[in-house]
Amino acid sequence: MTTTAVKLGAHVAERGVEFGVWAPKAKRVDVQIEGPAGTAHHRLETQGDGVFAGAVAGIGPGTLYRYRLDGSEAYPDPRSRFQPEGVHGPSEVIDFSTFSWTDQAWPGITRDQLIIYELHVGTYTPEGTFAALIEQLEELKSLGVTALELMPIAEFPGRWNWGYDGADWFAPTRNYGRPEDLNRLIDAAHRTGLAVLLDVVYNHFGPDGSYWRAFSDDYFTDRHMTNWGQGINYDGPNSRFVRDFVLDNVRQWIGDYHFDGLRLDATDAIMDDSEPNILEEIQEAAHAAASGRDIVVIAEDARNDVRLIRPVDIDGDGLDAVWADDFHHELRVYLSNARENYYQHFQGALTDVATAINEGFAFQGQPSPMTGAARGTRVTDEPASAFVFCLQNHDQIGNPSATASTTRSSTAASWPRQRCCCSRPKSR
């Protein structure tokens, strides 16, 4: 479902560029074209429901622009495809149709085939770029992995960032390269036989460079509160525009960039009391945008909720898989006796590790030793491949707000302890 027939964002047309923006707080919107000779303003016409649109002739890809609201301040496009000067600079018109893909025979990837390597583009190579990462694809393939998962790449302020406070959700950060560099990376990965997943954050907006409130207060709601403040408005007044904002973002990553799936950050903080739930619409949009390729949509969720991976027709959200952290946490407590933060939920007994391996979740409704409250839901006939296990990820080895012992598992325990845990049992 689409709220308006007007395409929002900047789209290259036959004789120029068409612009569309949702800005219900403004009475007038001009697109401000910026170039070496200065700036020029072109008034956009109101289309109803707070939407303004119009075309500017004689310009094309590479044009820099902002939206000027009510003749005053000018801001980057909320749907900017690229921010060459960072979150506070102008947006750039991007034309996806100019890239020549070579992956037409690439089938995608199913959850049964997933062996994931989580990767931070900015730190994996000395250059920290999409282009430099291409040179490492054969080495990554030799590890035996089948998919790379890029940590969030949406434009963020500054030079160094984990990516979880992205301010421009549609724009790959300039720190890693240009959009066409990302296209080349994914195209090369597919030639190498590697799928590429993307970590996306739909539970909060980054605090610096996020200008959504200048356009509309309805991006946010005080009906739901998260660790980052007001929740994103998925179920209140004007929420259809916000939902379309997210769904179009999903379509871009899967359709325009050929990503093979998404990892949805902290879905327990994506709060939506409406039907259908936004998670259901995300997975539908993602699979539709894949145009027949196999893709996966994976939730990261602290609740151990099997409804995330149950089919829609039996009251589920229809996602392909869910991160199952109980395995890692039980194993980490066993290896290192970690007790901080969420590790307090876990006993670290090998019987509990075995339960996590055999059933997906260790906690399936029993009370947590940390809080006494029931945690998790009962696993029944959900397929084993719908539960994603990890040996470690960015939260456990690099996030001091999550755990005090931000070390790799291989250094958190003695070698005899690791060997005891990981050695094969003797044959009977």
Contact 323, 299 (CB under 8 A): yes
Give the Cβ contact number of residue 389 at 10 Å.
16
* 8 Cβ contact list (under 8 Å, min separation 6): 20, 21, 22, 51, 79, 244, 245, 248
Which DSSP symbol is given to 312?
Answer: G
Rounded to 10 deg, the angle between the 239-251 and 278-289 helix axes is 30
Contact 106, 158 (CB under 8 A): no
Please indicate whether residue 70 is annotated as part of the active site.
no
Catalytic hit among 256, 265, 317, 352:
265
Backbone φ, ψ for residue 179 (5° rounding): -55, -40
Which DSSP symbol is given to 255?
Answer: I
Which residue reads 């939506």 in tokens? 272
Could you tell me which of 289, 268, 282 has the C-alpha nearest to residue 312?
A: 282
Which residue reads 């291409």 in tokens? 134
CA distance 345 to 371: 8
Backbone φ, ψ for residue 13 (5° rounding): -115, -175
Contact 194, 187 (CB under 8 A): no
Contact 262, 254 (CB under 8 A): yes
Give the Cβ contact number of residue 265 at 10 Å.
21
CA distance 364 to 306: 9
Could you tell me which of 282, 234, 215, 221 has the C-alpha nearest to residue 254?
A: 282
CA distance 331 to 295: 29
Catalytic hit among 300, 305, 317, 326:
300
Please indicate whether residue 149 is annotated as part of the active site.
no
Active-site residue list: 265, 300
